[in-house]
Amino acid sequence: MTLWFVLAMMTGAAIFAVLWPLGRRMQNLSSGHDVRVYRDQLDEISRDQAAGRIGAAEAEAARIEVSRRLLAAAEREPAAPVTSPSRRRAVALAALVLLPVLSGGLYLALGSPSLPGQPLSARANPQASPPIEQLVAQVEAHLERNPKDGRGWEVLATVYFQLRRYDDAVRARRNAVTYNGATATREADLGEALVASAKGIVTAEAKHAFERALALDARDAKARYFLGLSAKQDGRSAEAAAMWRDLLASAPPGASWAEFVRDELAQIEPGAGQVAPGPGPEQMAAAATMDPEQRKKMIVGMVEGLAERLKKDRGDFEGWLRLVRAYTVLGERDKARVAASDARRAVERDADKLRRLDELVKELGLES
């Protein structure tokens, strides 16, 4: 009797599982959010390894696991489209009538209620997660059948890159651009794959990809960093330093890549890791004991020191902005205007920097 009660409960649960979604409007779901999350996790793993927070073995294991999840998320199909009310009623009727009859008849014909139960350990046969190579092969097979699936190429490119299959990553990135359309992110990702394939050298092809990315979005951080690296590799260290300083100056608060860029900048310009250096602890302590006149002299000395440095390094745009603001605070409005004019000449070919400079001049009331 207990067995039949349990079977009846199981049948009821199965019917409920069928009827529940039929009583609601089904919506198409997408795994796009999961894909973005796993891509961000892969980028975070690379940054943690570069910063020395995790070892190479840990990073490799994490990459493989996240890549496996990324492929699985990409293969998820959207839910079925919304069905009509008449079809939902037909399926509900079948669930209410046919499901109990068919399941009961099938059990009476094939079941063996008199057999003793088996321990769970004897019946369990857990399936291990498929290896990453198998998942990659499945996606590759899918893309052979559907070569214009841009989304598939984009996901596979990310996994190829993490597995250090850089030549394959370049091919997949090109296909992603071709079939999904060019965006700043896709062009920058293609350039990054080309650099990795060339063992860290920013080739002419990679440089063109980064330039295309900036043409689509002048704020793209990855493209700006690699173009700075290109300048460094070409022996134009001052230009690279200026580009990286500008990149750090526009970095959003808490940007995960900012520390890496500071380290790169410090290699060609020691002590330049900070965008807006100020007085050090010793200077601050000394200023606290000064009278107002002495404190003002110290500040004037620092501002003049900044002005002298900018005569040699005219590419430090953020330095120019600080100098204009500092002169204004000191009441030296004529000097502030001269500094603004010098800054304008230094960045005369950069429309975005000219706009920022004009906004500061207007904010400080320095218009002539």
Supply the pLDDT for residue 108: 55
Rounded to whole angstroms, the Cα distance separating 18 from 224 reads 53
pLDDT score at 109:
53
Q: Which fold has domain 281-364?
A: 1.25.40
CB distance 160 to 169 below 8 Å:
yes
Find the helix or strand (DSSP H, E) in which 180 lies.
Answer: helix 166-180
Rounded distance between C-alpha atoms, residue 210 and residue 68, angstroms:
29
Q: Are 273 and 259 in contact (CB under 8 A)?
A: no
Q: What is the model's pLDDT at position 354?
A: 86
How many residues belong to the chain?
368
CA–CA dist 329, 321 (Å, integer): 12
**CA 221, CA 205: separation in Å to the nearest integer?**
18
User: What are φ and ψ of residue 48, in 5° steps?
Assistant: -65, -40
Contact residues for 43 (Cβ-Cβ < 8 A; gap 6+): 256
Torsion of CA 218, 223, 229, 233, to 10 degrees: -100
pLDDT at 53: 64
Q: How many whole angstroms from its chain centre is CA 186?
A: 12
Q: Where are the domains of the chain?
A: 2-75, 182-268, 281-364
The answer to whether 201 touches 224, Cβ cutoff 8 Å, is no
146 in Cβ contact with 152 (< 8 Å):
yes
d(CA 203, CA 192): 10
Name residue 237's amino acid. S
Q: How far apart are CA 259 and CA 265, in angstroms?
A: 10
Contact call for residues 262 and 273 (beta carbons, < 8 A): yes
| Nearest one of 237, 164, 247 to 200, comparing CA atoms | 164
Q: Check the CA dihedral 159-165-171-174 and report its sign.
A: positive
**CATH topology agreement for domains 182-268 and 281-364:** yes
Radius of gyration of the chain (CA): 31
Site of tokens 């795994």: 31
Residue whose pair of structure tokens reads 């526009």 in the numeric block: 250
Q: What is the pLDDT along the chain (368 residues), one digit of tens a residue?
A: 555 555 566 666 665 565 555 555 444 444 555 666 667 777 777 766 666 666 666 667 677 776 777 777 666 545 444 455 566 556 555 555 555 655 665 555 555 555 555 555 545 454 555 687 888 888 888 889 999 998 889 988 988 998 899 999 999 999 999 999 999 999 999 999 999 999 999 999 999 999 999 999 999 999 999 999 999 999 888 899 889 988 988 888 777 788 888 888 888 865 444 444 444 444 545 555 556 666 667 677 777 878 888 887 777 788 888 888 888 877 888 888 888 888 888 888 888 888 888 888 888 888 76
pLDDT value of residue 201: 92
Torsion over CA: 187, 347, 309, 248 (sign): negative
- Answer yes or no: are the C-beta atoms of 79 and 26 closer than 8 Å: yes
Task: Tell me the CATH class for 182-268.
Answer: mainly alpha
Q: Are 70 and 38 in contact (CB under 8 A)?
A: yes
Residue 230 one-letter amino acid: S
Torsion sign (Cα): 305, 306, 310, 316: positive
